[in-house]
Structures are given as C-alpha cells and as structure tokens.
Structure 1
Amino acid sequence: MVTRSRFLVGAILVAFLSGCSSTGYDKAAGTSASLQKAAQDIDTGAARIDAVLAALTDLVNNPAADLKPQFKTFVSAMEQIESLPAIVRDRAAEAQQRGAEYSRKWDEELAKMQNEEIRARSAQRRNAVNIRFEQARASYEQARAAFGPFLSDLRDIRTALSADLTLDGLAAIRQVVAKASKDAEPLRTALAKLSEDFRDLGASLSTATSRPAATSAANK
C-alpha cells in the first residue's frame, strides 16, 4: 500500500510538473496553471456524467416512435464517460518514473541550501505541498472507486438495449437505470472534491493573488 501510494502521489506530481523546466516562481506558476486546467477537466467529466444520465433518462422515460436515435445519443454520451478513467490511468503509468526523479531533484535542491533556517522552511513548504497532493490522491482514489459500479451499470444497460431495443427492453432495465443514477451521486461528490483539491492547491502555488472561481459543474 505504501509503494502504491507513493506511486500515485508521484504520478499526480509529474502529471502537472513535467515540462516545467524553469525554477522558482515560474515553476510554481506553471504548476498552478496545470492544476487549474486539471480541475477544469474534472469539471468537464462531471458534466459528462450529467449528459449520459440525461440521455438515458430521456430514452427510458420519454421513448420516441423510433428508439434508435435516442439510444445512439446515450451510446455517444457513454463513450465520452468511458474514456475518462483510461486517460487518468495512462497518465499515472507514464508519470511513475518521472515522479521519483522530481522528488529526488527537490531533495538535491534542499541539500544545496547553506542557511539551516531557509532549508528547514523550504522543507516544511515541500512537506505541506506533498500533504496536499496526498489529500488529492485520496480524493482521486474515491473517484476511481466510485467509477466502478457506475460504469458497470451503464455498460450492462448498453449491452441489454443493444440486444433488445424495445419498449419491453426499456421496462426490463428501468430498475438498473435507477441504480445507475444513485451510483452517480458518490461519483459526482468525489469528482467535485478532487476538482476542489486541485484548484485550491493550484491557487496556493500561483503568483496571482485572486483565485479563480470553480465552474458550475464542480459545484453541483
């Protein structure tokens, strides 16, 4: 568990810090911008959850004379949702080695400092930032876990309707649709928390004195 936690923290760090070769406040500003962008992407993901549920609810509760267009709208929205966990997974895997390198270089910079008080304060600051990244990691774990049952239900619904796209088929999956809507609530909550963690951490590293407001998706 410890190794896994370190990997995920390193993955999150590098996802936002890679590519920033500058130092000092320039590095902080670049990291801040990346975190803010990540928060926006999470908000977009939350909006996609609303979109897929809206499409599914419309199909089940307001079936048209021809069910195919509504089903295709649901499938299209479903595809947008399915891509989100894969993107996060791929970025984390790519960042594993780079995260370890970033942490090592940070320690090297601390070792160069001659003034003990400055070095201690810098180390405290690094530790504080690491703690906040760890908090974001915990939020990420909650979101990852919440994705499981939600996506599983949606995939089963898609499979069932692909075989039986009829009024009786819709009636047969109505209870599963209700469960998917219920499973979406903890996922929305976890994504909102993750977005908030990234946005607040990004603001804490920014040279700007005003903090950007969260988007409406993050506040739902």
Structure 2
Amino acid sequence: MNHRLLSRLALLALSSCLALPIGCGSDPQPLPPKVATGLDGLRNEAIALKGQIEKVTAALSDLVMKPQADLQPQSFSFAQELAGLEGRLERSQAQRQVAGNMVLEQFAFWDSQLDKLESEEAKEVAAERRAATAETFDGIQMKIEALREKFTPFFTDLRDVRQYLKGDLSLQGLQTMKPVAERVLAAQGDILSGLDGVVASITAAIG
C-alpha cells in the first residue's frame, strides 16, 4: 500500500514537473508549455504568411492578366507585396528556429530529470511523454519540409518575374513572363493548402 502511494506521489510530482496534469478531471495538455508557446508563434507566422501570399499573387494576377495603359502602378504594387512576402518569410524562418530551440530546451530538461528519477515507473512515464512530444513535433516539421519543397520553385518564379520586368516593363515583357506567372497562380492553391495543413497540425497539438 505504501509502495503504491509513493509511486502515485512520484507520478504526480513528475506530471507537475512536465506540465502534464493527472487527475482532478482535467484533460492532459497535448504539449509542454514551452513547446506549445514556440509552436503557437509558428502558427501565427504561417497564418500571416498565407495572407501575404494571397496579396502578392493577387497583385501579380492584376498586373499580368489585367494590364493597364500605365504599367508602373501595377508593377510597383506587385514588387511591394513581394518584398512584404520576403520579409514575412524571414520572420517565419526565425520563428521556426525559436520553436526548434524551445523543443531542444524541453528535451534537455527531460533528459536531466530522467537521470535523477529513481522509480522505473516514473522514468517510463517521462520517457513516454518525451517520445510523444518528439513524434508530434517531427510530424509538424515533416509538413513544413513538404511545403518548403513546393514553395521554393513558387517563390523563385515570383522573384524571376519581378527581376525580368525591371528591365522590360511593357506589354511584350508581360507576355514573355506570362507562362511563369501562370505557373505561379496555378501553384498557389497547393501552397495555401499546405499552409492550412501546417496550421491545422499545430492547432491539433496545442489547441
């Protein structure tokens, strides 16, 4: 009886240490607070990135598909939105690094705690918690990597259109770049869907 009580107390102490509620009718937290905070920032960046992609593709479509007599305002709008996308990408990449560092810090904490635990039962539940968090985070990372593979040529095409039109902002120049622009617009849906998938995965993990 005393052994069971001590085991239960050890698990309760461990759950508090790992931010995993046990009992009291509360639902287990999907991820530790430190990891959840990093992923929440990443989710916010993904949402903002989606909005900026929609802006830049709308500006590109307006420029290439509905050119006005004076192309300069439309070209400026496209270039401005693309610059905004470049800035948003830098922030997203920085936040991904922050989230990754938070995960590493959490794992380092777990590893240090595992070395101090004496109960095999406590070690087991801690190891399971660590493994579950790693699996969740790795799943999100896989979605991000799959999206990055699709996004890279999409982003390259956007920048190529901007670069070319710097030296040939004319109807003929637009016609030259139209196939590239059409490729961008055709890929947009897949890119946005991929971002939605990343956001959904993070939301499922942290609520």
Shift of 1:62: 1.8
Shift of 1:90: 4.5
Q: 1:105 to 1:37 in 2, by over 3 A?
A: closer
Which is worse superposed, 170-179 or 88-97? 88-97
The answer for unaligned runs of 5 or more in structure 1 is 1-21, 204-220
Match of 2:176 in 1: 172
Paired residues of 2:57 and 2:185 also in contact (CA < 8 A): yes
Asked if 1:74 is matched to 2:78, the reply is yes
Q: Give the letter aligned to residue 130 of structure 1.
A: A
Q: 1:125 to 1:99 in 2, by over 3 A?
A: closer
Distance in 2 between residues matched to 1:56 and 1:112, nearest whole Å = 58
TM-superposition CA deviations, 1:99-156 (whole Å, max 9, x none): 6554232111122223322321121121011001010111111122122101111111
Asked if 1:143 is matched to 2:123, the reply is no
Q: 1:24 to 1:131 in 2, by over 3 A?
A: closer
Q: 1:45 to 1:98 in 2, by over 3 A?
A: closer
- When normalised by structure 1's length, the TM-score is 0.72
Distance in 1 between residues matched to 2:44 and 2:101, nearest whole Å = 26
Distance in 1 between residues matched to 2:18 and 2:105, nearest whole Å = 18
Match of 1:55 in 2: 59
Q: 1:94 to 1:81 in 2, by over 3 A?
A: same
Q: 1:194 to 1:95 in 2, by over 3 A?
A: closer
Match of 1:193 in 2: 197
For the residue of structure 2 that corresponds to 1:160, the secondary structure is helix
Paired residues of 1:153 and 1:180 also in contact (CA < 8 A): yes
Match of 1:25 in 2: 19
Q: 1:80 to 1:176 in 2, by over 3 A?
A: same
Which of 102, 118, 121 aligns to 1:117? It is 121
Match of 1:65 in 2: 69
Task: Work out which structure has the larger RCO, using CA pairs closer than 8 Å and 6 or more positions apart in sequence.
Answer: 1
Q: Give the letter aligned to residue 122 of structure 2.
A: I
Paired residues of 1:82 and 1:151 also in contact (CA < 8 A): no
What fraction of aligned residue pairs are identical, expressed as a percent? 27
Distance in 2 between residues matched to 1:47 and 1:89, nearest whole Å = 16
Asked if 1:153 is matched to 2:194, the reply is no
Paired residues of 2:18 and 2:32 also in contact (CA < 8 A): yes
- When normalised by structure 2's length, the TM-score is 0.76
Paired residues of 2:38 and 2:98 also in contact (CA < 8 A): no
Paired residues of 1:149 and 1:183 also in contact (CA < 8 A): no
Q: Give the letter aligned to residue 126 of structure 1.
A: R
Shift of 1:165: 1.1
For the residue of structure 2 that corresponds to 1:25, the secondary structure is coil
Q: Give the letter aligned to residue 49 of structure 1.
A: I
For the residue of structure 2 that corresponds to 1:66, the secondary structure is coil
Distance in 2 between residues matched to 1:95 and 1:175, nearest whole Å = 38
CA RMSD of aligned residues (A): 2.7
- The number of aligned residues is 182
Shift of 1:53: 0.6
Distance in 1 between residues matched to 2:136 and 2:18, nearest whole Å = 19
Which of 76, 87, 91 aligns to 1:87? It is 91
Distance in 2 between residues matched to 1:32 and 1:92, nearest whole Å = 13
